[in-house]
Amino acid sequence: MDKVEKTSFWGPGKFPLGLIIGFLVLIGILLLPTPEGLPVAGHRILAVLVFAVVVWVSEAVSYEASSIMIIGLIVFLVGSSPSLTNPDKLWGTSASMNLALTGFGNSGLALVAAALFLAACMTYTGLDKRIALSTMNLVGTTTRAIFMGTVLVTIVLSFVVPSATARGAAMLPIVLGIIAAYGVDKRSNLAAGLMIVVAEGISIWNVGIQTAAAQNLLTVGFMEKMLGERVAWVDWLIAALPWSVVMSIVLVVVVMKFLPPEMSALQGGKETVRKQIAELGPMTSAQKRLLLVTLGLIAFWATEGKLHTYNTTATTTVALAILLTPKIGVIGWKDIQSRVPWGTVIVFGVGISLGTAILQTQAGAWLGHQIIEKTHIDSFGPVVIFAILAAFLIVIHLGFASATALSSSMIPIMISLLQSLPGEINRLGMTMVLGFVVSYGFILPVNAPQNMVCLGTETFDAKQFARVGIVVTLIGYVLMLLLASTYWQWIGVL
């Protein structure tokens, strides 16, 4: 008789522990009495929110899978709740399904999708690599110049490649080529420093440019949904540019301090870069067309509300349509289909839906009132309020592997809190600068996808990354407080 093997429900490869904890917490919250002043639907949405945070932080399942679970929970938990307008009737699954899918009709989702398509065009044509190499060719061959040149490349790519992960992937072969030209070991200080500059430089410019990261576009989407207005691309840039410029310099200084390079100059550095440029050959017709469309797109972004009334979503979508047009464009649907991370689109849409549900079930307003009542944050001025909320976001980000997930769960709560505050406060501006803080993925490699891309080169370890990241985070936080006390008040942000 064959021996029957015992199976374990809890072992490796079995039901994820984080998912079990998420469901247990969900059930536990649902079993609690509904607090006074909070509708049943709002109570259930807060339970879904906590479930989402547990699953996202633990990475028990993929973000895409958890997003589908969240849709199902919203549909059935809200659908079986009493209606807000008529407690004798239920929401119904039809209304709750519309609520669960509302994010997929948000203009911010269209912008994210278009941005991902644009990034795919860049990698498909190789224009991203050509821009990076050409920018690197402009700098000198001293170690400091190479570090600053690496930052400069990340800045340029941030304007034209609206995907942090894609920018990281574009930078890797270039930086690895420079490291090889130095003739140093890949675990040297020089190699570690350059790769950390790439990862953290991308995060710094995620703050600086609205279209550089999905979490920024998510924040803009919540602005439109919850505040009825949004911050233009150029206004975001005006507010964030000083911080990103100063922090770029700070990053290089900190990296060279903690990881002093083994040599002061690169012999044959420019020759290495020029060799890689020569290998690319002359600029192709597709690259020229893509560059022309991209420059035109940036011009439209920068003049929104000044020379025209077309918003970022509209101009980006039109640009994408041009790039997909046969003969005129640069890529076909089959090529772009395989290069776009469709899961990001799903996660983004569900994130907007969850935020909308927090708003429409009155969960956000109730939570905002509770925070004010318990912390007395309403007794402080805008700068102190920003300091407290920014510190909270920085700390909680340590538990998230995705700034998009962090933005999905926290920005709606931040907006609800701001709406509950009495007195004169620029809620739109405060939301924007809190959105800046969502990109603080400086301390742990797992806090941002580009960090993990760079970590995969095995040029640095988590301890080296954290040493640099803690200092960059502290300086970045203090600098934002300084801007909140001066510059941001001068330009009317706070």
Residue 1, pLDDT score = 38
Residue 113, pLDDT score = 81
DSSP 91-107: --HHHHHHHHTGGGGSH
Percent of the chain exceeding pLDDT 90 equals 32
Identify the band that residue 14 occupies on the pLDDT scale cut at 50, 70 and 90.
low
Phi, psi of 82 (to 5 degrees): -60, 145
Identify the band that residue 28 occupies on the pLDDT scale cut at 50, 70 and 90.
very high
Mean pLDDT along residues 408-414: 86
Residue 49: name the closest of 359, 274, 346 by CA. Answer: 359
Q: How many CB atoms lie within 10 A of CB 450?
A: 26
Identify the band that residue 268 occupies on the pLDDT scale cut at 50, 70 and 90.
low
Rounded distance between C-alpha atoms, residue 233 and residue 184, angstroms: 41
Residue 32, pLDDT score = 94
Mean pLDDT along residues 95-110: 84
Rounded distance between C-alpha atoms, residue 145 and residue 138, angstroms: 10
Contact 437, 216 (CB under 8 A): no
The residues spanned by each domain of the chain are 15-103, 107-338
Q: How far is CA 329 from the centre of its chain?
A: 28
CA atoms within 13 A on the CB side of 241: 8
Mean pLDDT along residues 434-452: 87
Question: What value does the mean pLDDT of the chain take?
Answer: 85
Rounded distance between C-alpha atoms, residue 335 and residue 257, angstroms: 44
Q: Is the torsion defined by CA of 255, 257, 261, 264 positive or negative?
A: positive
Q: Is the torsion defined by CA of 159, 160, 164, 167 positive or negative?
A: negative
Residue 435, pLDDT score = 94
Contact 56, 25 (CB under 8 A): no
Identify the band that residue 7 occupies on the pLDDT scale cut at 50, 70 and 90.
very low
For 481, the token pair is 């407080």
* Relative orientation angle of helices 427-438 and 214-222, to the nearest 10 degrees: 160
Residue 279, pLDDT score = 84
Query: Which positions ≥6 away from 278 have C-beta within 8 Å?
Result: none
Residue 15: name the closest of 47, 58, 77 by CA. Answer: 58
Q: How many CB atoms lie within 10 A of CB 256?
A: 17
Residue 250, pLDDT score = 96
Query: Which positions ≥6 away from 140 have C-beta within 8 Å?
Result: 146, 149
CA distances from 397 to 124, 250, 270, 277, 482 (A): 33, 21, 39, 39, 22
Percent of the chain exceeding pLDDT 70 equals 95
- In the chain, the amino acid numbered 439 is S
Rounded distance between C-alpha atoms, residue 193 and residue 460, angstroms: 8
Rounded distance between C-alpha atoms, residue 99 and residue 180, angstroms: 53
Identify the band that residue 13 occupies on the pLDDT scale cut at 50, 70 and 90.
low
Residue 270, pLDDT score = 67
Contact 266, 178 (CB under 8 A): yes
**What is the residue whose two structure tokens read 């374990």?**
8
